Chains A and B, each alone.
Chain A
Amino acid sequence: MADQTVNQHTLPPNPEKATLEGRNKFLGFWFFLGGETVLFASLFGTYLGLRGGVVSGPGPDDLFHLPLVFIMTMILLTSSLTSVFAIISMKRGNYKGLLVWMWVTVALGLAFLGLEIYEFYEYYHYGLGFTTSAFASSFYTLVGTHGAHVAFGIGWIVTLLIRYRKTGLTLTNAPKFYVAVLYWHFIDVVWVFIFSVVYLMGYGG
């Protein structure tokens, strides 16, 4: 079963999948992402069904300003790339590189999250409260759930980075980092649809 005899303590080509635990984690996490796809689809569908329900509150074209969204998109996209660098460093056996790139990813994530909070704050001052209209509720729920995912991801990666700051790469922590990076990419996948469907279509249509 687990007997793909790992040559002890030397770096395998895919350290995240070198043990049965690692392979289980890898597979289970992908399946979880499959479920998350439906989770976000439900939120997108709700938003799209309700986005016309503006009533007397502000609507998408009163609120959205593209430059901010563009900057947020670029930040998140770049953080996706830095997490790719982290994994490449891991496979090269460069543990320090892994840690550094992950910290960069976290920093970019924090910047994104800060901008998102600023954005919500702005909208609130334009008169878009959470309970103002069905559009408002569904917008905040969709984008907010994404934001919550970003926040959770940051907390998760920081925990890993602090816990494993001195241990070096092991067969136990390699899958953990790898899976956290998968999660981070998925956050970016969702964001691609958010900026396209919510912001660009809201602004243009």
Chain B
Amino acid sequence: MSNAKAQSKSVLWDWLTTVDHKKIGIMYLVAGAFFFALGGLEAILMRIQLMFPEFSFVPAQTFNELLTMHGTTMIFLAAMPLLFGFMNYIVPLQIGARDVAFPFLNALGFWLFLFGGILLNVSWFVGGAPDAGWTAYVPLSSESPGTGVDYYVLGLQVSGAGTLIGGINFLVTIINMRAPGMSMMRMPLFTWSTFVASMLILFAFPALTIGLLLLMLERIFGATYFAVDFGGNVIIWQHLFWIFGHPEVYILILPAFGIFSEILSAFSKKRLFGYSAMVFATLIIGFLGFMVWAHHMFTVGMGPVANSIFAVATMAIAVPTGIKIFNWLLTLWGGRIQFTTANLFALAFIPSFTMGGVTGVMLATSAANYQFHDTYFVVAHFHYVIIGGVVLGLFAGAYYWWPRIFGYKLDETLGKWFFWLFLIGFHLTFFVQHFLGLIGMPRRVASYLGGQGLDTMNFISTIGAFLMGIAFIIFVVSIFTSMKNKVTDADPWGNGRTLEWTMPIPTPEYNFAQTPLVRDVDALWYEKYEGDGKMKAAEPLGDIHMPNGSILPFIMSLGLFISSFGFIYYHEGFLWLAILGLVINFGAMFVRSIKEDHGYHIPKEEVIKGGK
């Protein structure tokens, strides 16, 4: 029951065993950034291959592996973990909590994600990466030779379990751990969107779990769900994948919407316009996100009535999304807008994302979809929503919350270079792809013939990709060159509205010396205008209870990692390895179950000292 032992540990051990949501958040950000760079590299390699007709920069098989790993990495290992990083760090601060509901599970979720991501990428070095596309449609994936797809299945299974755990943790945290006065309808939009995205995770990921389980049993143990000559059906996979896959898109975009809502409101010094409409629209998008998955399958042949229902439901999503767009515009209206890098990203998001939304409605038109399906038009569309929405959101959030998380401000001059190069590169890359698709260039091809009107636009697209690459390098450089811009003020932007700007920087491990009392939406802003600019305390100073760190999450994840290799090489006689891994995993779970750990207390005196 002492906190003195925390100091005696080595730094590495401290990070391996941490259950602090802030450290876990930082680990998510670091790992996510690494995978983001990796996925970006894969994209650049693909774009070089497509720079000229019949170019032979990489062989077709490698191209297939690159495109599969680019998609899988960017969705599962980059975008989601980066968002999870912000959620982990920021949400407990925004709701006035000292911790998340399940610190131990939170750590477990991170390590599962990381080991799953590593597992997926090990495939590069042992006989080739997965090559069936990030959607892994059967029978292409179930018949794909080699172990690539096995790595896909098990890597995603392990990291998916981590995501599910993370989702439940956020839900319970947001429901049970809010500070006094912080009613649901006073929560900042980022917290709200985290909440809805976590609900989507909770109900979408089980479908992926089952899809991956079936694919694993089919590939490794000879099951016949997808084998037509055994009475199987390949459409089963498509449904299971998209029942997960479509909500997944909203799992990514909703938190980004939340980030933009925070930033636009902070940097136009205005309360978010239409708060309750924003919350309502978020919920509606979340709900509709579950009812539209079959629009990815219009050309399967489900029939005209089925297609029409899904087409109409899909178009309906444009309504709540439109509400959000207009609310953001009206937040800016008459505001005192500051063009910081964070806000530039947020401002650029509005038109960029709207373009992606418009092509989305075009794709939702099921009759026209037969023309667009599997062309570069689709590629252009989803990059406009994912980069124009999620990635711009991640960069905006990074610039906005960087001082809170890392204690220094990122350089604004380099930031503006980064922003403009990235934005121009992004539009250059993907705008032309709409037309490439419309004139008939299929997606996922490793090469194309010259003289068909595809050459120039492909070349332009590649140049755009280079620009984005250069922009990202500038960002990475600025991370290191800006370290001297230290901040110590709790509210370094000067216009913080929410609770994450109320504690000193660096954030104390217990977040709040005293749990704050929330009196309105934008709690801090309210105190600035109606109070003395400081949060009222909801409790007297006292000892603070903290959970102990634990190495068990790491060991559990390691067990599943080892076990996955046993399954992948099952036919080479490695069943024992699979069993060994599971024994490690369940053993660690057993230890966790029987060993009671009640944490420790930080004494009041130390809290007072830390506040100084």
> Do A and B share a direct contact in the complex (Cβ within 8 angstroms)?
yes
* Known interface pairs A1-B177, A35-B206, A141-B217; A134-B594 also in contact (CB < 8 Å): no
Known: A38-B206, A133-B224. A53 touches B233 (CB 8 A): yes
Least distance between B77 CB and chain A CB atoms (Å)? 22
In the bound assembly, the distance between CA atoms of A54 and B229 in angstroms comes to 10
Q: Which residues of chain A are within 8 angstroms of B209 by Cβ–Cβ distance?
A: 39, 42
A141 near B243: Cβ-Cβ < 8 Å: no
With contacts A46-B225, A141-B223 taken as known, whether A31 is within 8 angstroms of B202 at the C-beta atoms is: yes
| Interface: A137 (CB within 8 A) | yes
Q: Residue A50 at the B interface, CB < 8 A?
A: yes
Interface set, chain B 581-610, CB cutoff 8 A to A: 590, 593-594, 596, 598
Q: Are A28 and B102 in contact (CB under 8 A)?
A: yes
State in angstroms the CA–CA spacing of A24 and B547 once bound together.
14
CB of B301, distance to nearest CB on chain A (Å): 15
Verify if B573 is at the interface (C-beta below 8 Å from A): no
B101 touches A28 (CB 8 A): yes
The answer on a CB contact under 8 Å between B223 and A55 is: no
Does B232 lie at the interface of the complex (its beta carbon under 8 Å from any beta carbon of A)? yes
Give the nearest-CB partner of B221 in chain A.
A130
B175 touches A27 (CB 8 A): yes
Asked if B494 is at the interface of the complex by the 8 Å CB criterion, the answer is no
> When the two chains form their complex, are residues B236 and A34 in contact, meaning their CB atoms are under 8 A apart?
no
A55 touching B206, Cβ below 8 Å: no
B515–A1 touching, CB < 8 Å? yes
Chain B, residue nearest A159 (CB): B593
Chain A's closest residue to B175 (CB) is: A27
Whether A50 lies near B231 (C-beta < 8 A) is yes
- B176 interface hit (Cβ, 8 Å): yes
What separation, in Å, do the CA atoms of A131 and B213 have in the docked complex?
15
Q: Which residues of B contact A46 (CB under 8 A)?
A: 210, 214, 225, 236, 240
CB neighbours (8 Å) of B231 from chain A are 50, 52-55, 133-135
- Kindly report which residue of chain B lies nearest to residue A21, judged by CB atoms: B101
For A156, the chain B residues whose CB sits under 8 A away are 593
Contact A49 B233 (CB under 8 A): yes
B222 lies within 8 A of chain A by Cβ: yes
Cβ-defined partner of A130 (8 Å) among B179, B213, B223 = B223
Cβ 8 A contact of A24, one of B172, B217, B229: B172
Cross-chain pair count, CB within 8 angstroms: 121
Q: Once the chains bind, are A163 and B207 in contact (CB under 8 Å)?
A: no
A159 touches B225 (CB 8 A): no
The answer to whether B176 and A24 touch across the interface, beta carbons within 8 angstroms, is yes
- Distance from B224 Cβ to chain A, minimum over Cβ atoms (Å): 5
Known A43-B210, A134-B227, A137-B223; judge A32-B217 contact (CB<8 A).
no
B168 at the interface (CB under 8 A from A): yes
Report whether B171 and A31 are in contact in the complex, using a CB–CB cutoff of 8 Å: yes
Q: How far is the CA of A28 from the CA of B109 in the complex (A)?
A: 14
CB distance from A1 to the nearest CB of B (A): 6
Interface size class of A (residues with CB under 8 A): 35 or more
Nearest B residue to A24 via CB reads B101
From residue B187, how far is it (CB to closest CB) to chain A in Å?
16
B211 contact set on A, CB distance < 8 A: 42
For the complex, give the distance between the alpha carbons of A141 and B236 in Å. 14
Chain B 171-218 interface residues, beta-carbon cutoff 8 Å to A: 171-172, 175-177, 179-180, 202-207, 209-211, 213-214, 217-218
Nearest residue (CB) in B for A152 is B586
Interface string of B395-410 (1 = CB under 8 A from A): 0000000000000000
Kindly identify which residue among B168, B177, B229 contacts A31, using a CB–CB cutoff of 8 Å.
B168
| A180 smallest CB distance to B (angstroms) | 10
A32 to B172, CA, bound (A): 11
Please report the C-alpha to C-alpha distance between residue A132 and residue B231 in the assembled complex, in whole angstroms: 10
Check A49–B236 contact: CB distance below 8 A: yes
Contacts of A137 in B (CB 8 A): 217-218, 223-225, 230, 232
Q: Which of B169, B204, B224, B229 contacts A131 (CB 8 A)?
A: B224
Check if A138 sits within 8 Å of B221, measured CB to CB.
Answer: no
Interface of chain A residues 9 through 56 with chain B (CB within 8 A): 20, 23-24, 27-28, 31-32, 34-36, 38-39, 42-43, 45-46, 49-50, 52-55
Is the beta-carbon distance between B230 and A55 smaller than 8 angstroms?
Answer: yes
B224 contacts A134, CB within 8 Å? Answer: yes
With A28-B169, A31-B168, A39-B206 as given contacts, are A53 and B102 in contact (CB-CB < 8 Å)?
no
A78 to B594, CA, bound (A): 28
Inter-subunit contact A35/B230 (CB<8 Å): no
A160 with B233: in contact, given A28-B169, A38-B203 (CB under 8 Å)?
Answer: no
Q: How far is the CB of B485 from chain A (nearest CB, A)?
A: 36
CB distance from A72 to the nearest CB of B (A): 23
Write out, one digit per residue, whether chain A residues 73-98 have a CB within 8 A of any chain B CB (1) or not (0).
00000000000000000000000000
B66 interface residue (CB < 8 Å to A): no
Given contacts A1-B515, A131-B222, A141-B223, contact A27 B596 (CB under 8 A): no
* CB-contact partner of A42 in B176, B180, B207, B539, under 8 A: B207
B164 within 8 A of A: yes
Q: Hey, which chain A residues are within 8 Å of B179, CB to CB?
A: 1
- Bound-complex Cα distance A174 to B176 (A): 19
Q: A53-B230, A172-B596 are in contact. List 17 more A-B contacts (CB 8 A).
A: A1-B515, A32-B168, A35-B203, A38-B207, A39-B209, A39-B210, A42-B209, A49-B233, A50-B231, A55-B229, A131-B224, A133-B224, A134-B224, A134-B227, A137-B232, A141-B214, A163-B594
- List of 8 A-B pairs having minimum Cβ-Cβ separation, nearest first: A53-B231, A39-B206, A42-B210, A137-B223, A134-B231, A134-B232, A24-B101, A131-B222
12 contacts between A and B (CB under 8 A): A1-B180, A3-B539, A31-B172, A32-B168, A35-B205, A43-B210, A50-B233, A54-B231, A55-B230, A130-B223, A137-B224, A156-B593
B residues lining the A interface (CB < 8 Å): 101-102, 164, 168-169, 171-172, 175-177, 179-180, 202-207, 209-211, 213-214, 217-218, 221-225, 227, 229-233, 236, 239-240, 243, 515, 539, 590, 593-594, 596, 598
Interface residues, chain A, CB within 8 Å of chain B?
1, 3, 20, 23-24, 27-28, 31-32, 34-36, 38-39, 42-43, 45-46, 49-50, 52-55, 130-138, 141, 156, 159-160, 163, 172, 176
